[in-house]
Amino acid sequence: MESNVGLSMDEDLENIHRVVAAKKEKFNFFEGLYELVDLFTMTVLLLVFLMFVFRPVKVVGGSMLPTLEENQRLITAVNNGFFNSIKRGNIVVVNQPSYTGLSIIKRVIATEGQTVDIDFTSGKVFVDGELQKEDYIKEPTHLPEGVQFPIVVPDGHVFVMGDNRNNSSDSRNPGIGMIDIRYISGRN
């Protein structure tokens, strides 16, 4: 009889250990599930935040050479109110309707109220009568494209040009013209 009692206690202890182990596994499963849901939620929130703050873009064409190469990928700050101060020299992504029907990436040369003048013979660009130091351009600006200069940038607009001035359709082209800042979707 003593051996039966000992086996019974051992069996009881084994059963208790099995129940405790099963509860631990169940607890670990739910703890792991909670951590997984928490990680997923944080990832989704981070992606949503990044969509409203930063946006990836791909450079199409050679109008921004030598600064940006064709097919280069960029991360731009979204123009959403947080980062809405567009300054001269910024590289911007423009979605303004134009004859191209495409988004364009260009450099801001002048902002509202400024006067732009280009001497196409010498290739020099002036903003408010001041010669611009443009060490980022591929070559001097010799291609007029149709806009008459000097020209004043209207309120709420910017004047943009590509860094590859003689291979760029930009604000010098009446089909594109001045860029309404509401159509600037991103900037560097």
DSSP 182: G
Confidence band, pLDDT 50/70/90 cuts, at residue 24: low
**pLDDT tens digits, one per residue of 101-124:** 678 899 999 999 999 999 999 999
Tell me the C-alpha distance between 119 and 124, whole Å: 5
Q: How is residue 103 annotated by DSSP?
A: -
Confidence tier at 29 by pLDDT (50, 70, 90): low
Cite the active site residues. Answer: 63, 106
- Cβ 108 vs Cβ 87: under 8 Å: yes
Summarize pLDDT for 112-160 with one digit per residue, the tens. 999 999 999 999 999 999 999 999 999 999 988 889 999 999 999 999 9
Which one-letter DSSP state was computed for residue 181?
G
Q: Per DSSP, what are the bridge partners of residue 178?
A: none
Q: Is the pLDDT of residue 100 over 70?
A: no
Q: How far is CA 113 from CA 53, 81, 129, 156, 157, in A?
A: 28, 21, 13, 9, 9
